[in-house]
Structure 1
Amino acid sequence: MNAALDLVIMSADHDAHATMVDRARRAEELGYSRVSTGEATGWNVVPALSLIGNQTEEIGISNDVFSPYGRSPAMLAQTALALQDLSDGRFRLGLGPSSPPLTESWHGATFERPLRRLRETVEVVRSIFDDGNASYAGEIFDMDGLSYERELPETPPPIDLATLGPKATELTGRFADGWVPQLFSLAGLEERYSDLERGMALGGRYPADVRVSPILRCFASTDRERARDATRSMLAFLVGAYGPHYGDSVAAQGYRDVVDEIRAAWTADDRAAMADAITDDMLDEFAAAGTPEEVRTRVEQYAETDSVDAVRVGFVFGMTEDEKEKTMAAIARLL
């Protein structure tokens, strides 16, 4: 298989940080190259990442993703440098433009100029990584800059961006070390990759400089229909309820009518209708759900895509611990 396998740990599935560590250690045993975990309105994931970095040996660790409205660029740099130290150089910093609901209804900020804020955040963080100085004159951030008071690592943490649209993905290619797309069909991923390439050209970068690791929601089970029904519900939630950007991206990939139907059902608080709107063909375009062999085949299709360096295996809401273990193990057979 051409690409590596990463694993997304859903923090909302865990009642204790210790079980997140257990999941990461199991992923390491199975040969996954990296684990990541997201942060929205639940736990601050830095403690969990710290524990994972301290209690694993080789597996990489990442966050999916920090909001540039929720932490200052300097705090993001401090956090990344601390996690890089704790993990002996295995950390990658994940950032994204965030969304209006998370920005305004959780962080109390105004969702303005998200791409400009993301670019400047990356530039400030890089400045601190490079020489420890936070001095910056931009349109969003303007500061004389204090200096990082600890010794800088020889190898700073790479920066990954989770972006969806053409301009955001171009920005990723120009300024970031990795791209973490989600809810892309293979055709949609290849189309958007052209925007990443344009950004790389603008930044004087090459494909080897940017790690492409799409998140693919996976559920492998001998109970094929349960796996597919649960995954259908998960995709519908991401499209209809998780801010506007995922829905807009899926719509641009040829599913405008389906997205409109899902959003209408979300407004009507009809979860069943949301899931019913996703056809079998659409489910197979955007996820890997079904028998273990079906799921391995779908994951391998992403992994064999020329532009993909790693597939981030994500779980689905409602999976039992046994179902997650079996899904992880089934996909690890590709390694």
Structure 2
Amino acid sequence: MTIPLSTVPLSEHRRVVEELPDLGYTDVWTGEAAGRDGFTPLALAAAWSPSLRLGTAVVPVQTRGPALLAMTVATLAEAAPGRVAVGVGSSGPPFVTRINGIPFEHPYRQVRDTVRFLKRALAGKPVRGVFDSFTIEEYRPAVRPDPAPPVLVGALRPQMLRLAAREADGLVTNFLAVRDLRPVLAAMGPGGAGKEVVARIFVCPTRDVGHARARGRALLGPILNARTYSAFHSWLGRGEELAASRRAWAAGDHRGACEAVPDALVDELLVHGSPERCREHVARYAGAGVTTPLLAVVPAPEFGAGPDAMLAALRALAPLD
């Protein structure tokens, strides 16, 4: 499950997080862009529910120094031994440069170098030397988590996908349909065999197709026209399918860009329908190679509004075994 949950203030998450294991949920994962940070909700969840696995999907490599990132992960892992995974990836200029004042340069190199740094540091080994994107005089970890948390890479296209397979413990991916897993996993190559595949899957448990598609377009319009995801879906062969949306976005018509996202694509990228149909759709992701289906729940009218509504939706979507 993705936390924090939309519509639920962080101060009201405790009763939800405490109930998740009894409902059959095994993990909570966060993201990080320009809203809540990726570690505070996990630290709270570590205290609230001592059985849940905790992961970042993902935190950017550009906005923390590698040692600070390693210290943060190691500290969380010390609080929750054996329950932490760290997913790292590249952010984009809106979040790196515009709000943090950090140059956005060589994203692939920064991700690769940070993965190499983390793998050594989280294993308790000193790190020193000249990397392509930073130089470390000497970092000696003061905390050595046991076991060392796995390091995953947020990846969409072949170069990053190969990096996830070659140097990390797994992959975190996002905003893709079930049929997209075949080319994504193929691009990882043989090195990806047996590694964890985390996919965030957006779910709106509603029988109201109009509501689901309206929420889906509002969610997908900006995402599919963002630089990284636009390139991802072009690589997946959706250039013609998204041409009208891209023309509207380029002209400054953001509402029109959302409205131009085709119904069929919304239905693939936003799981919706009855809770039973949603579970079946999520199971297809697992059947296609996702080892950790990571739900991100979109509010549905059947459950009302507010924290109680979101908890009711989670109960309805809960795994049956």
TM-score, normalization: structure 1? 0.87
* Deviation larger for 43-52 or 213-222: 43-52
> Pick from 152, 160, 163: which aligns with 1:160?
152
1:8 to 2, 22, 33: 2
The Cα offsets for residues 251-308 of structure 1, whole Å up to 9 and x where unpaired, read as 2222213434323333555444233212221122222012223322211111222x22
1:176 corresponds to which letter in structure 2? Answer: A
The normalised TM-score by structure 2 is 0.90
Paired with 2:199 and 2:173, the residues of 1 have a C-alpha distance of: 5
Whole-angstrom distance in 2 between the partners of 1:38 and 1:218: 16
Residue aligning to 2:220: 235
Residues 40-51 of structure 1 mapped to structure 2, 5 A cutoff: 40-51=33-44
Aligned partner of 1:184 in structure 2 is 176
**Structure 2, unpaired ranges of 5+:** none
How far apart are the structure 2 equivalents of 1:324 and 1:11?
8
Match of 2:239 in 1: 256
Query: Does the 8 A contact of 1:67 with 1:98 survive in 2?
Result: yes
Aligned to 1:128: 121
Q: CA deviation at 1:156?
A: 0.7
CA contact (8 A) 1:236 1:278 kept: yes
CA-atom RMSD in angstroms: 2.2
- For residues 219 and 280 of structure 1, what CA distance do their matches in structure 2 show? 15
The SS at the match of 1:181 is strand
Which whole-Å CA distance do the structure 2 matches of 1:178 and 1:22 have between them?
31
Paired residue for 2:166, among 157, 174, 177? 174
Q: Mean Cα displacement is larger for which, 55-64 or 258-267?
A: 258-267
Distance of aligned partners of 1:328 and 1:318 in 2 relative to their CA distance in 1, 3 Å threshold: closer
Whether the 8 Å CA contact 1:225–1:290 is kept in 2: the answer is no
| 1:10-29 matched pairs, under 5 angstroms | 10=4, 13-15=7-9, 17-29=10-22
Deviates more, 1:212-221 or 1:35-44: 35-44
Q: Which has the higher helix share?
A: 1
Match of 1:300 among 283, 307, 314: 283
- 1:316 is aligned to 298
Matched with 2:274 is 291
How far off its partner does 1:121 sit? 0.6
1:328 match: 314
CA contact (8 A) 1:236 1:274 kept: yes
Residues 26, 261 of structure 1: alpha-carbon distance in 2 compared, 3 angstrom cutoff: farther
2:24 equivalent to 1:38: no
Q: Distance in 1 between matches of 2:11 and 2:149?
A: 25
Distance 1:197 1:124, change over 3 A: same
Label 1:78 to 1:279 Cα distance change in 2 as closer, same or farther (>3 A): same
Contact 1:59–1:90 (CA<8 Å) still a contact in 2? Answer: yes
Select the residue among 214, 219, 229 that pairs with 1:246. Answer: 229
Structure 2: how far apart are the matches of 1:67 and 1:13? 24
Tell me the percent identity. 25
Question: Which one-letter code corresponds to 2:116 in the other structure?
Answer: E
Change (3 A) 1:64 1:109: same
| Conserved 8 A contact 1:221-1:323 | no
Higher mean C-alpha displacement, 112-121 vs 86-95? 86-95
Match of 1:101 among 72, 91, 94: 94
Structure 1, unaligned runs of 5 or more: 1-6, 201-205
Residue of structure 2 in register with 1:279 after alignment? 262
Q: 1:61 aligns with which of 33, 54, 59?
A: 54
Q: 2:179, 2:240 → 1: CA distance? A: 18
Number of paired residues? 317
Q: Partner amino acid for 2:292?
A: A
Structure-1 separation of matches of 2:5 and 2:204: 17
User: Structure 2 vs 1, CA of residues 59 and 101 (structure 1 numbering), >3 Å: closer, same or farther?
Assistant: same
Partner residue in 2 for 1:3: none
- The structural deviation recorded for 1:14 is 4.2
2:62 paired with 1:80: no
**1:73 and 1:122 in contact (8 A); partners too:** no
Residues 8-66 of structure 1, C-alpha deviations (whole Å, 9 max, x = no match)? 12466443x32233333232221111111111112333222111111112110112221
Q: What CA distance in whole angstroms lies between the structure 1 residues aligned with 2:119 and 2:292? A: 24
User: Match of 2:124, as an amino acid?
Assistant: D
Match of 1:4 in 2: none
